[in-house]
Structure 1
Amino acid sequence: MPSHLLPPRTASLAGPATGAGPAAPSRQRQVLADDVYEAVKALVMDHVIAPGARVSIDGLVRQLGVSQTPIREALARLESDGLVVKEPLRGYSATPLLTRSEVDDLFQFRLLVEPWAAGRAAELANRDDHVRIAGEVASCPEPPPGDEYEAYKALAAHDSRFHSLLAGVAGNRQLRIALERTHCHLHIFRLYSAGGGGSQTLAEHRRIAAAVTRGSASAADRAMRDHLESARDRLRASFE
């Protein structure tokens, strides 16, 4: 089991925090819940829990050294992420990976709407939007080497925030909701880890952000289209 999946903070949560007020147990419980969620999420993203495989709650209890309660809470959150599914009388199982056809369908949809959204964001963005966009691009460090979720989870989270931010600046709430509901970024990174593509992704985001902040709708449209086509081609290569 990779060391980053061990719950190092669990033991520290067992006793009361020195000098903590009445709210400390609640904060501790939330930290534990978040730790367990990230640990189980990593198992799914790294295929330790194989796509389509049933999830053993008892097995996770033994593996992570926690009770069933945070495990069940984590699985409920992962179900909303689209990473696990709950079936009556069978419990939870990891969702299958995207197929080549599903990847193509996903990017066909994104290519129809996201270049337009980037161009629209360039037309509508104000000074505060420019600051938020620049801040988001600057917030993600270059991913460290490695194919495990721990190495690229910051990039995956940034990718989701960046695309959602542009859809919001474009004023298209339905597009932003659609991107968030599909959890496409999690599914894409689950299929294809950042590997050597993380730096390229960040460079593409910087080009989009630069076009948006200088108010060039055509350049923002083109930069987003180039980014999505590049990401699609990287994914297609993983099927070959």
Structure 2
Amino acid sequence: MSAHDPSDSGAAARGAEQSPPPARQVLSDSVYENITAMIMDHEIAPGARVGIETLSRTLDVSPTPVREALARLESDGLVVKRSLSGYRATELLTRQGVEELFEMRLLLEPRAAALAALNADESQLDNIEKILEAMQSHPGPVGPYASYRDFAALDQSFHEAITQAAHRPLLADAVERLHSHLHIFRLSSVPGAGEPTLAEHDRVVRSILRRSADRAAKAMAEHLTRSLERQLGHFEET
């Protein structure tokens, strides 16, 4: 019997890391994305019942991945599960709801940016920069959800990466639980919001890279305030 070569296990581990995700996971993710788009684009109206069997027929899949997707969407705050009546799409934020959401963000995220400037390690700084660079190659929030999904996901990743870099797990968890990007983007796209958003993000990043806690907090507060103004302006227009 030949001796065991340690490199064999290393090669196996690398092979496992590089292997594609299982087909079931791919299907589950695809169903999740499809239902998310239906909710974001109001194909499933706010407050409407979300039927598992109906979605199974529409998407031509079994009920299992639909149930898995709805469980994820419940944690995202896009559907709610009620006893006896099943799942329903959550209602849209009102103007007051938007103001309260940003009130919470203004309490949490400037502090997170300040702590990120002090505590972020080099890999976290690199990651924040990479997310900002990736956002610059994607269109902003105009048209159906599919057209700006990547921008919205990167926008959320940008804010969450900053809170992770603060090295305050409870703070990061609080920001993530708001699911603010899904709720805001679901209201309706705000034409022209992409360019100012990127410019404001850039100021946040430069402040964090300079390790300036005060500037980072100020830049984040300015970004959130202007974002709120854009949303409220859209409410007035509609």
**TM-score class, shorter:** 0.7 to 0.9
Closer/same/farther in 2, CA of residues 230 and 145 from structure 1, 3 Å limit: closer
Map residues 121-136 of structure 1 onto 2, 5 A cutoff: 121-136=116-131
- Which runs of 5 or more residues in structure 2 are unaligned? 1-18
Distance in 1 between the 2:67 and 2:78 partners? 14
Residue from 72, 78, 87 that aligns with 2:73: 78
Distance in 2 between the 1:218 and 1:46 partners? 39
Q: Which amino acid aligns with 1:143?
A: P
Map residues 202-221 of structure 1 onto 2, 5 A cutoff: 202-221=198-217
Distance in 1 between the 2:100 and 2:140 partners? 30
Distance in 1 between the 2:62 and 2:120 partners? 47
TM-score normalised by length of structure 2? 0.84
- Which runs of 5 or more residues in structure 1 are unaligned? 1-23
Which of structures 1 and 2 has the bigger CA Rg? 2
Residue aligning to 2:38: 43
The CA deviation string for residues 12-35 of structure 1, in whole angstroms up to 9 with x for no partner, is xxxxxxxxxxxx998111111111
Counterpart check, 1:53 vs 2:78: no
Distance in 2 between the 1:198 and 1:53 partners? 30
Residue aligning to 2:114: 119
Distance in 2 between the 1:198 and 1:104 partners? 20
Deviation >4 Å, runs of 4+: none
Residue aligning to 1:239: 235
Distance in 2 between the 1:113 and 1:144 partners? 25
Q: Which amino acid aligns with 1:215?
A: R
Residue aligning to 2:218: 222
Residue aligning to 1:163: 159
SS in 1 for 2:50: coil
TM-score normalised by length of structure 1? 0.84
Counterpart check, 1:153 vs 2:181: no
Closer/same/farther in 2, CA of residues 63 and 195 from structure 1, 3 Å limit: farther
Residue aligning to 1:16: none
RMSD of Structure 2 on Structure 1 (CA): 2.0
Paired residues in the alignment total 217
Shift of 1:61: 2.1
CA contact (8 A) 1:142 1:199 kept: no
Distance in 2 between the 1:42 and 1:194 partners? 17
Residue from 18, 22, 27 that aligns with 1:32: 27
Map residues 175-214 of structure 1 onto 2, 5 A cutoff: 175-193=171-189, 195-214=191-210
* Greater CA drift, 141-150 or 177-186: 141-150
Identical aligned pairs, as a percentage? 50
CA contact (8 A) 1:207 1:223 kept: yes
Q: Which amino acid aligns with 1:219?
A: R
